[in-house]
Chain A
């Protein structure tokens, strides 16, 4: 796979001096679904806006499909569709007209059959002759998606697509994303919801304070999530971990009263049974045992906390 979007040393400092992006590097592979997670003000929207040409970068370069987004903006932008976070629509316009407008704006000739398909996929076909102002919030968001898809983009940016959206629409949206992925469309979505990233993304990126802290395969993250810790409280403190327990990589607390054992729930053998046996054999008494699991949420929160330091 080759990178369809390449971001190199991207910096954006706003006029007020606020540094929204600090030397961001990012490769987005063709056909993947990338979820960008991050707290408010992390720079997610600035990153997307800069790729789409709405915000001018302070320095660095971006290319889409091998075309520089500034020097060769026509070719680059033709490939890109953007669903903005805010519901920005002209209230007096009709649904079909506004979608046609988007297609024309992106340099494509009229193709009502294609637009009909999009509107049907988004359950908007019945509303095609209605005014935007008459639609509910969820329907308006669908119109934004229809507009973004109207010119058959290869890369689709969804900026917080499910913020304030009901469960039904969220599921519809996920199905749509799945269909688009089958057509080979690359999708980048930003979200607050970690479960959303888990549900549909191939890779997960975490961004905070204008920096990408991590970008990893969801599978790799999930295995990190599968890691559990067992905290073993002892009846009496021990000076050292007995040699017979050397294979378990146990971590002894400073006061010698607690041993911590890390294991994978995903592996066939967790080693808990043998550990407990070996502890008994070594003559170590147990007061209590606790297990805890790290989640994507923990990973995320820890990353964001660390970067705040």
Chain B
């Protein structure tokens, strides 16, 4: 393994993150705080409780997921798209680093960033609502797995994208709707039966549900199903990344 190579990529990507610290950290924290104010205080005062948990606390796992998913996709896709766009990718391609090392460097950095942001949002939420975490280990496990798998997806999007427009297309048109419709801000038991069934096809539901279970011990779908969903999703992403490097898709001519 070329550990120096992995470290070089990882540090380079993290440096980018800390260079734009305001954009990287302040903006997700600010937007999350706004969600708390709007959903927690304004709407939450009318909803009161969901299955014994105050609405303000209930939305915390969903809010963290929303940020972590978007940040993972954005950071990872931008991280690999930008060198492609400005041409510095030549150096990565001509360096003695394997595909695995490139992925560890880029995806590792992107996942670290979203993990940081997720943690910051969690800490922020303590200022707004009372939360207890019933299964801290599983909470962390779900969080890390989500960061990694969606950073992998972001990496794939970054390689696939040929323009900045395409880069934003998937997060905007696919992921954001899935997150909002995936029970981030409600329990699907609140929905009419037909929509409950449809929601079961939304992969994000399984993430949010599993993550929420780690906090409050309640879930829309069985925890095992959540775990299965996220590991399958990670495996599929890994498979695609493996194929990309094997074939040189949109990387090499």
Closest to A110 in B: B4
B96 touches A92 (CB 8 A): no
A164, CB-defined interface residue at 8 Å: no
A104 touches B7 (CB 8 A): yes
B15, CB-defined interface residue at 8 Å: yes
Q: A55-B253, A77-B95, A101-B12 are in contact. Are A106 and B5 (CB under 8 A)?
A: yes
A92 touches B19 (CB 8 A): yes
Q: Majority SS of interface residues in chain B?
A: helix
Give the chain B neighbours of A89 by CB distance below 8 A.
86, 88
Give the chain B neighbours of A105 by CB distance below 8 A.
4-5, 8-9, 91-92, 95, 97
Give the chain B neighbours of A97 by CB distance below 8 A.
12, 15
B86 touches A90 (CB 8 A): yes
B90, CB-defined interface residue at 8 Å: yes
B2 touches A147 (CB 8 A): no
Closest to B251 in A: A54
A74 touches B93 (CB 8 A): no
Give the chain B neighbours of A56 by CB distance below 8 A.
248, 252-253
How far does the Cβ of B246 sit from chain A's closest Cβ, in whole Å? 11
B192, CB-defined interface residue at 8 Å: no
CA distance A52 to B96 in the complex (A): 10
A15 touches B4 (CB 8 A): no
CA distance A104 to B15 in the complex (A): 15
27 contacts between A and B (CB under 8 A): A52-B93, A56-B253, A74-B98, A77-B95, A77-B96, A78-B96, A82-B91, A84-B90, A88-B86, A88-B91, A89-B86, A90-B82, A90-B86, A90-B88, A91-B86, A92-B19, A97-B15, A100-B8, A104-B5, A104-B8, A104-B11, A105-B4, A105-B9, A106-B4, A106-B96, A107-B4, A107-B95
Tally B residues with Cβ within 8 Å of A: 28
A120, CB-defined interface residue at 8 Å: no
Give the chain B neighbours of A248 by CB distance below 8 A.
none
Closest to A80 in B: B94
Closest to B2 in A: A107
Give residues in B with beta carbon < 8 Å to A: 2, 4-5, 7-9, 11-12, 15-16, 19, 82-83, 86-88, 90-98, 248, 252-253
A60, CB-defined interface residue at 8 Å: no
CA distance A104 to B97 in the complex (A): 10
Give the chain B neighbours of A84 by CB distance below 8 A.
87, 90
Give the chain A neighbours of B82 by CB distance below 8 A.
90
Give the chain A neighbours of B4 by CB distance below 8 A.
103-109
A86, CB-defined interface residue at 8 Å: yes
Give the chain A neighbours of B19 by CB distance below 8 A.
92
A53, CB-defined interface residue at 8 Å: yes
How far does the Cβ of A148 sit from chain B's closest Cβ, in whole Å? 9
* B-contacting residues, A38-74, CB 8 Å: 52-56, 73-74
Tally A residues with Cβ within 8 Å of B: 34
Q: A88-B88, A97-B15, A101-B8 are in contact. Are A54 and B96 (CB under 8 A)?
A: no
Closest to A88 in B: B87
How far does the Cβ of A82 sit from chain B's closest Cβ, in whole Å? 5
A88 touches B96 (CB 8 A): no
Contact of B90 among A14, A82, A101, A107 (CB under 8 A): A82
Closest to B89 in A: A88
Q: A92-B19, A104-B5, A105-B5 are in contact. Are A52 and B94 (CB under 8 A)?
A: yes
Closest to A78 in B: B96
A53 touches B93 (CB 8 A): yes
Closest to B93 in A: A54
Q: A101-B8, A106-B5 are in contact. Are A14 and B87 (CB under 8 A)?
A: no
How far does the Cβ of B196 sit from chain A's closest Cβ, in whole Å? 47
How far does the Cβ of A14 sit from chain B's closest Cβ, in whole Å? 6
Give the chain A neighbours of B15 by CB distance below 8 A.
97
Among B2, B9, B91, B248, residue most surrounded by chain A Cβ atoms (within 10 Å): B91
How far does the Cβ of A115 sit from chain B's closest Cβ, in whole Å? 13
Give the chain A neighbours of B91 by CB distance below 8 A.
82, 88, 102, 105, 147
B94 touches A82 (CB 8 A): yes
B5 touches A54 (CB 8 A): no
CA distance A207 to B54 in the complex (A): 75
Contact of B87 among A77, A86, A104, A109 (CB under 8 A): A86
Give the chain A neighbours of B90 by CB distance below 8 A.
54, 82, 84, 88
Give the chain A neighbours of B9 by CB distance below 8 A.
105
How far does the Cβ of A40 sit from chain B's closest Cβ, in whole Å? 18
How far does the Cβ of A75 sit from chain B's closest Cβ, in whole Å? 8
CA distance A91 to B19 in the complex (A): 13
* B-contacting residues, A1-39, CB 8 Å: 14-15
A77 touches B94 (CB 8 A): yes
CA distance A101 to B9 in the complex (A): 7
How far does the Cβ of A131 sit from chain B's closest Cβ, in whole Å? 10
Among B5, B86, B87, B96, residue most surrounded by chain A Cβ atoms (within 10 Å): B96
Q: A15-B253, A88-B87 are in contact. Are A107 and B5 (CB under 8 A)?
A: yes
How far does the Cβ of B179 sit from chain A's closest Cβ, in whole Å? 30
Give the chain B neighbours of A107 by CB distance below 8 A.
2, 4-5, 95-97
How far does the Cβ of B135 sit from chain A's closest Cβ, in whole Å? 39
